[in-house]
C-alpha cells in the first residue's frame, strides 16, 4: 500500500514529517518505508518539483527523470511487500507562489500532471485542511517572517476574492489527476497533535503503537510582536505600518471584516461539499467543534 501525504502547508505538516522521520527505523522494521522532504528534495529525486516561474526544457526533463526514479522506487517497495508513506507538501505548490499570486496553489494541475507517472500506483492521497482565514493568516505570517512584507489592503481583498473556490479546487484536482486513488481529507484540529494516530487513521495500518512522538508543536507561527521585530530588522517601514493596527498578541489577522466573511463562506462551502460525500473516493474526518 502506498500513501502520499500532500500537506497542505501550515497544517502541522512539519510535526507529522518530523515524527515519522524520528521513527524511520521503527517503521522500517514493520515493513514501512518513509519518504519525507529530505529524500524527495534531494538525491535521486532532486528536481521533481518545479516552480512555475522556473520551468525550462532542462528542468522539465530533470523533473521527468526524477519522477521515473520515484516511480521505480515505489514499484520496488510494493513488489517487496513493503508499505510506503510519502510526505511532501510542495507537491501542491509553495507558500511563496500562493502569496505572489494571491490564490490557493494556483499551479497544482501542472504539478500533478508532471507527477502522474510516479503516482499511478498510489492507493491513498492524504490532504489536511484548515479554515481559510486561519490558514491564510498563517501563510502570511510565514511569508512575512521569511521573504515578504505584509500585503496591502487591496492585496488582502484579492486573496479573499481569489479563494472563493476554497479547498474543493485542490481536492478535486487530486481526484481528477488520480481517479483510481482514494483521497482522505482531515480537518486541522482532528488528530493534529497526534501524527501517529493520523497515519493509522488515513492508512488503516494498526501496527504503529510502537512509534514514539517526541514533539507537540513545530514551526509555530510567530507572534505579531516577533513579526514587527523582523520587519524592523529589515528596515521595512511600509511593512511596519501595515502591521501597526494588528496589536501585539499571538494571533495575526490581516483581513478586513469583509475579507474574513468571504473566507468563512468559502470554507463553509468546502465543509458542506465534504459532508455531502458526493464522491465516494473522498472520506472526510472533521475536527470536533
Q: Taking the model in full, what pTM does it have?
A: 0.93
Residues 6+ apart with CB under 8 A from 228: 240, 243
pLDDT given for residue 267 in this prediction: 98
Fold adopted by 2-285: Rossmann fold (3.40.50)
DSSP string of 4-21? Answer: EE---TTSSHHHHHHHHH
Rg of the chain (C-alpha set): 19
pLDDT given for residue 274 in this prediction: 97
Please, are residues 103 and 163 in contact by the beta-carbon 8 Å criterion?
yes
Give the residue extent of every domain in the chain.
2-285
Query: Averaged in consecutive runs of 10 residues, what is the pLDDT profile of the chain (289 residues)?
Result: 97 96 96 95 80 70 88 96 97 94 94 92 97 97 93 96 98 97 96 93 93 87 90 93 79 92 98 94 92
What is d(CA 22, CA 210) in angstroms, rounded to the nearest whole number?
Answer: 12
Amino acid at each position: 500500500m502506498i500513501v502520499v501525504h500532500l500537506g497542505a502547508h501550515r497544517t502541522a505538516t512539519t510535526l507529522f514529517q518530523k515524527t515519522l522521520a524520528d521513527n524511520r527505523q521503527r517503521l522500517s522494521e514493520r515493513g514501512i518505508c518513509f519518504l519525507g522532504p529530505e529524500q524527495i528534495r534531494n538525491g535521486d529525486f532532486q528536481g521533481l518539483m518545479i516552480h512555475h516561474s522556473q520551468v525550462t526544457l532542462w528542468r522539465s526533463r530533470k523533473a521527468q527523470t526524477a519522477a521515473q526514479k520515484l516511480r521505480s522506487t515505489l514499484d520496488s517497495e510494493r513488489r517487496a511487500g513493503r508499505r510506503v508513506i510519502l510526505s511532501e507538501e510542495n507537491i501542491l505548490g509553495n507558500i511563496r507562489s500562493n502569496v505572489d499570486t494571491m490564490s490557493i496553489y494556483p499551479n497544482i494541475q501542472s504539478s500533478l500532471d508532471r507527477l502522474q507517472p510516479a503516482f499511478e500506483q498510489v492507493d491513498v492521497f492524504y490532504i489536511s485542511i484548515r479554515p481559510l482565514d486561519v490558514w491564510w493568516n498563517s501563510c502570511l505570517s510565514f511569508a512575512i517572517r521569511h521573504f515578504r512584507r505584509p500585503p496591502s489592503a487591496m492585496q488582502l481583498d484579492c486573496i479573499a476574492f481569489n479563494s472563493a473556490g476554497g479547498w474543493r479546487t485542490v481536492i478535486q484536482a487530486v481526484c481528477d489527476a488520480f481517479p483510481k486513488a482514494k483521497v482522505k481529507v482531515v480537518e486541522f484540529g482532528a488528530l493534529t497533535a497526534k501524527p501517529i494516530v493520523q497515519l493509522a487513521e488515513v492508512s488503516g495500518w494498526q501496527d504503529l503503537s510502537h512509534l514514539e512522538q517526541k514533539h507537540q508543536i513545530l514551526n509555530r507561527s510567530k507572534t505579531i510582536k516577533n513579526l514587527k521585530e523582523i520587519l524592523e530588522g529589515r528596515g521595512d517601514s511600509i511593512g511596519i505600518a501595515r502591521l501597526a493596527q494588528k496589536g501585539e498578541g499571538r494571533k495575526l489577522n490581516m483581513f478586513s471584516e469583509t475579507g474574513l466573511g468571504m473566507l468563512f463562506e468559502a470554507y463553509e462551502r468546502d465543509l458542506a461539499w465534504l459532508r455531502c460525500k458526493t464522491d465516494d473516493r473522498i472520506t472526510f474526518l472533521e475536527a470536533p467543534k
